[in-house]
Amino acid sequence: MKKPGKRLISLQINGMEYEVAVRSDRTLLELLREDLMLTGTKEGCDDGSCGSCTVLLDGSPVRSCLLLAVEAENREVTTIEGLAENEKLHPIQQAFVDHGAIQCGYCSPGMILTAKALLDENPAPSEQDILHAISGNFCRCTGYNKIVTAIRAASRNGKGGD
């Protein structure tokens, strides 16, 4: 099978409009990391198990390694690069720093984006809600306790909410 031709698609990434030419056999992860140099999104298992490639698609967390780039056409993608405003970290990022919820850091972008989707929907989650939300994001350093503490601190329960 020869390479399929490129297709021109429009999508919004971190609030900016993009028009990109992409082949149908490229994943959203490849488009972000290799074509747009948005390398904050990490490639882990690359088969959907680990969650390190998590991005938000129209506000919901998805695995960018399992999504074809062309399927993100006319959708709104948020990557970890889209959270901080100028030099000011997003409150969830700041909570991760403050509570030492980062060890090697490889799972952090996916964890933080999953936490953002949770807190956007439920600003005052219980610990069980947090555990459920991040159950698809693996931390190989096993730093889960501090991650849960950080998310709780960023929530309304921890007085970190809006």
Nearer to other proteins, 8 or 97 (CB): 8
Residue 61 interacts with other proteins (CB under 8 A): yes or no: yes
| R_g over Cα of the chain | 16
Site for other proteins in 77-106 (CB under 8 A): none
Question: In one letter, which amino acid is 158?
Answer: G
Residues 68 and 54: their CA atoms lie apart, in Å, by 14
Question: Residue 44 Cβ, how far from other proteins at the closest point, in Å?
Answer: 12
Question: Applying CB under 8 A, does 142 fall inside the site for other proteins?
Answer: no
Report the residue number, 57 or 83, with the smaller CB distance to other proteins.
57
Closest to other proteins by CB, 24 vs 100, is 24
3-state secondary structure of 63: strand
Size of the site for other proteins (CB under 8 A): 34
What is d(CA 136, CA 121) in angstroms, rounded to the nearest whole number?
Answer: 17
57 lies in the binding site for other proteins (CB under 8 A): yes
Q: Which of 10, 49, 126, 145 binds other proteins (CB under 8 A)?
A: 49
Least Å distance between CB 37 and other proteins? Answer: 19
**Residue 20 contacts by C-beta under 8 Å, 6 or more apart in sequence?**
8, 9, 11, 31, 35, 36, 69
Please name which of 104, 106, 112 lies closest in space to residue 147, comparing C-alpha atoms. 112
In the three-class reduction of DSSP (H, G, I as helix; E, B as strand; rest coil), residue 130 is classed as helix
Residues that bind other proteins (CB under 8 A): 1-4, 23-27, 46-51, 54, 57, 60-63, 65-68, 70-71, 114, 132-133, 135-138
